[in-house]
Structure 1
Amino acid sequence: MSEFYSTRVTSTGGRQGHVQSEDGILDLHIAPPAGLGGPGGKTNPEQMFAGGFAACFGNAVIHTARAQKFPVKDKDVDVVATVGIGPNGSGGFGLSVALETTITGLEQAQAEALVDAAEKTCPYSNAVRGNIDVAYTVKTR
C-alpha cells in the first residue's frame, strides 16, 4: 500500500504514562479512568481512539457525500463515537464501538446509504472490520 501520510507516536509508561508525536503536537499525559480503577483526570487510550474514529469516519462521510454529489457541507456531519473496553472471554480484553452519525439536509434513506458507503471508505472502519463489532446509527436533522 502506498501511503499518503504516516505519523509516529511514542508511548511511555503504558496507561499511566505519556504519549507524544514525533512533531510534538500530540503531547499528553494519560491515566486510567476512574471506571477502570485509575485516578482519572487525564485522557486515556479509549478516548483517543474514539476521537480518532469519530473524526476519521466523519471525514469519510463528507468525502463520500462529495463523490456522490450530495449537498452536504463539513459542518453538516456530526459523529459521536462511544468506545468501551471489557474482557473478551479468552483472558484478554476487547473493545466495543458505536458510531452515531447525524447529517443535516438529507432524507433518512439518503443518510443511511451515505453512511453505509462511508463505512467502506473509512480507514478506521476498514481496520477494525472483522475484529471489533461497530454499531452504526444514522440520524438526520
Structure 2
Amino acid sequence: MDSTKKTLYTADATAVGGRSGHVRSATGIIDLDMSVPEGLGGKKGATNPEELFAAGYSSCFQQALLVIAQRAGDRLDPGTEVKCSVTLFQEGEGYGLSAVLDVDLKAFDRDKTIQMVREAHKICPYSVGTRGNMEVELKVQGETVPVQAKENAGVAEGK
C-alpha cells in the first residue's frame, strides 16, 4: 500500500436476488427493491444498478467541482447541476457501462466551466475509478467538452 494512501470511508451494501432482488446498505439508508430497467421488461417502482451508479457519480462529481472551486477561491452557485446518464450495453457475450456527465455551473462562463470540469474529472473518485475501464463523456450545458485521451484513459495521475 502506498504510504500516502489513507482510507477515509468504507460503504457496505448487500444485494440478494440480483437485478430482480433487493439491495440494502449496512446503515439501512438504502433499502430498495431492484429490477431490470422497466424498458427492458422490469417492474415499475424499483431501481437498478445503473440508476444507483448515475446517482452516485453525479453527486461525487459535484463534490469534486466544489473542491476545485474552493481551491481556486471560488464558490459554486447553489443551483449548480451535474446530470449523469449511465448506459448499459452488450458487446459480444459481455456487458459494459458508459457514462455522460453534463454540468451546468450557472455562475461561470463556458471556458471557466470547462476548465473546472476537466479538473474535477482528474480528482473525482468515480472518474478515477472508471478511468481506462469505461467511456466517460463530459458535457457543459449539453455541449461535449473535448477530452484528451490521457484525461480519460489509463490510471489516475501519480500512480
TM-score by length of 1: 0.92
Aligned-partner SS, 2:55: helix
Q: Which amino acid aligns with 1:111?
A: T
Residue 70 of structure 1 and its aligned partner are, at CA, apart by 2.1
Give secondary structure in 1 for the equivalent of 2:141: strand
How big is each residue's C-alpha offset from its partner over 1:23-79, in whole Å with a ceiling of 9 and x where there is no partner? 111111111112222223311111000000000001111111111112324x24200
Contact 1:62/1:77 (8 A) holds in 2: no
Q: Would you say 1:5 and 2:17 are equivalent positions? A: no
Correspondences of 1:48-87 after superposition (within 5 Å): 48-73=52-77, 75-87=78-90
Deviation at 1:135, TM superposition (A): 0.7
Deviation at 1:17, TM superposition (A): 0.5
RMSD of Structure 2 on Structure 1 (CA): 1.4
Structure with greater contact order relative to length (CA < 8 Å, sep ≥ 6): 1
TM-score of the aligned structures, taking structure 2 as reference length: 0.82
Aligned length: 138
Q: What displacement does 1:104 show?
A: 1.5
Instruction: Please list, as runs of the form range in 1=range in 2, the aligned pairs for 1:1-141 lying within 5 A after superposition.
Output: 1-73=5-77, 75-89=78-92, 91-139=93-141
Q: Distance in 2 between matches of 1:67 and 1:23?
A: 32
Q: Could you tell me how far apart the structure 2 residues matched to 1:130 and 1:112 are?
A: 21
Counterpart contact for 1:31–1:43, Cα < 8 Å:
yes
Q: After superposition, what is the alpha-carbon deviation per residue over 1:84-131, rounded to whole angstroms, capped at 9, x for unaligned?
A: 111123x11001110000001111100000000000010000000101
Paired AA for residue 85 in structure 2: T
Deviation at 1:136, TM superposition (A): 0.3
Q: Whole-Å Cα distance in 2 between the matches of residues 92 and 38 of structure 1? A: 20
Q: Distance in 1 between matches of 2:53 and 2:25?
A: 15
Structure 2 runs not aligned, ≥5 long: 143-159
Taking the aligned partners of 1:55 and 1:4, their CA distance within structure 2 comes to: 17
Contact 1:31 1:42 in 2 (8 A): yes
Gaps of 5+ in 1: none
Structure 1 runs of 4+ with >4 Å offset: none
Counterpart amino acid of residue 43 in structure 1: T
Identical aligned residues as a percent: 36
